[in-house]
Amino acid sequence: MSATYLTHATLVLPDRVLHDSALLIEDGCIAAIEPAPSAVPAYATVIDLHGHMVMPGLIDVHCDAIEKEAEPRANVMFPLDFAVAQVDRRNAAAGITTPYHALSFAGNQFGVRNVDTAATLVRTVAAYREHSLVDNRIHCRYEVTDASAVPVLEMLMAEGVVDLLSVMDHSPGQGQFKTMEAYLAYMMGNHGMSREEATNAAAKKAAALDGAHERVNRLVEKAHRLGIPTASHDDDSPQRIAAMRALGVRMSEFPINVETAQAACAQALPTILGAPNVLRGKSQSGSMRAIDAIQAGVGTILCSDYQPSTLIAAAYAAARLADLPLNEAVALVTANPADACLLSDRGRLVPGARADVIAVSGVAGQPMVTHTWSHGRLVFAAGYPSMRHVAAAEVPAAGHAMRAMA
């Protein structure tokens, strides 16, 4: 039996922020909010958090940082088991207790982003789970122009190692790459291709679009049969949303513009936006600003995309920039992704939930994770020498939460 009693904490609950409060963790679950003293076991570890914010562990539905751990530079590969162990530590430090590692199945010419390496990496993550600090999950991204990936993805889904399936089309002229030049610049910059190589890749991708609809339908149907949530990537129009919805896709990742995000929400599809976009104030590919969608009420979920450390910072920035109550901003990275991914056991500080819990304090004006508990285990703790404890009275319940971190 194990128990941890967090005292003098500012709890971010689903419907409010509770100051100078306490939370009891027992045997991997949240046992009580503000328990009576008699309910706290004598063997409990007591941690005085001095007003730090305590909230659910973050749920990151899309992050491909694992690819950079495996291939930090083009064609420079590290051992995959080493990469998995390192990204697990990064997520614990970022307060992400449920990361969905986004792995691309997109042909055989882009380093780690190919069918064979991606499949091996999926299985490496699965094999490491018994050693993990956090609940590592897999988000398989299917490039619709790659026919060779279909049987491999079907096999991985049957093995039970796929937790989320998304479909994406990176053909030039739509979605993320609105022009051929944008596509060429990306391939040359990210994959070290010459202009001629990138042009040839574009031509092959265009030719491989034949049969894409049938392949997507086949994979999405199998995912549904196995209870695996699905998403579409870089939706660029209400018509695209309608087509994806007709296939049964249940989330829209990185909608290109506000109109598309509005169409997704009207069809009851949660929208997934990038935390780096919030922090930078713009999209790297020229699409809409994530904060505009949040302000318009059509931004449902934030993901770290490629940088785990951005998730907690973007939640606080969203509270400030969109004038959201802190509990609503935190839901963008906790309760909302939990609901979208059918995770009923986490994402909220409520009795009975899995004890994925983090503590956050202000360090040099930045919201920094100081403690991470995964299923009740303390898996990360940091003591910053300049860390100032934020008194509960200083922490507002509404939109200007970042001021408490100053």
Q: Quick one: pLDDT band at residue 215, thresholds 50, 70, 90? A: very high
Domains and CATH numbers, the chain: 3-55+349-405 (2.30.40.10), 58-169+209-340 (3.20.20.140)
pLDDT reported for residue 175: 54
pLDDT reported for residue 387: 57
pLDDT average, residue stretch 310-327:
97
pLDDT average, residue stretch 12-41:
97
Asked whether the beta carbons of 343 and 369 are under 8 A apart, the reply is: no
CA distance 294 to 273: 9
Asked whether the beta carbons of 50 and 32 are under 8 A apart, the reply is: no
pLDDT reported for residue 107: 73
Q: Which residues contact 305 (CB under 8 A, 6 or more apart)?
A: 62, 63, 64, 274, 275, 276, 277
DSSP state letter for 158: H
CA distance 77 to 92: 23
pLDDT reported for residue 394: 34
Q: What is the pLDDT of residues 154-202, one digit of tens each?
A: 999 999 999 999 999 866 655 566 676 777 777 777 667 788 777 777 6
Q: What is the pLDDT of residues 90-109, one digit of tens each?
A: 999 999 999 999 999 987 65
Q: Quick one: pLDDT band at residue 207, thresholds 50, 70, 90? A: low
For residue 322, count other CB atoms closer than 10 A to its CB.
20
Within 322-386, residue ranges assigned H as helices are 326-331, 335-340
What is the DSSP track for 7-71? EEEEEE-SS-EEEEEEEEEETTEEEEES--GGGS-TTPEEEE-TT-EEEEPEEEEEE-HHHHHH-
CA distance 296 to 261: 10
The residue among 338 and 405 whose pLDDT is bigger is 338
CA distance 382 to 388: 13
CA distance 365 to 406: 4
Per-residue b/e over 299-317, b at no fewer than 16 CB within 10 Å?
A: bbbbbbbbbbbbbbbbbbb
Between the two ends of the chain, the Cα-to-Cα distance in Å is 39
pLDDT reported for residue 288: 93
The rounded mean pLDDT for the chain is: 90
- Please say if the pLDDT value at position 391 is more than 50: no
pLDDT reported for residue 390: 39
The burial of 382, by beta-carbon neighbours within 10 Å (0-12 exposed, 13-18 middle, 19 or more buried), is given as: middle
Q: What is the pLDDT of residues 331-380, one digit of tens each?
A: 999 999 999 999 999 999 999 999 999 999 999 889 999 999 999 999 99
pLDDT average, residue stretch 262-287:
93
Q: What is the pLDDT of residues 230-242, one digit of tens each?
A: 999 999 999 999 9
Q: What percent of the chain has pLDDT over 70?
A: 89
- Please say if the pLDDT value at position 388 is more than 60: no
pLDDT reported for residue 195: 82
In 3D space, the residue among 288, 392, 372 whose CA is nearest the CA of residue 98 turns out to be 372
The whole-model pTM stands at: 0.89
Signed CA dihedral, 208, 167, 201, 81: sign only: negative
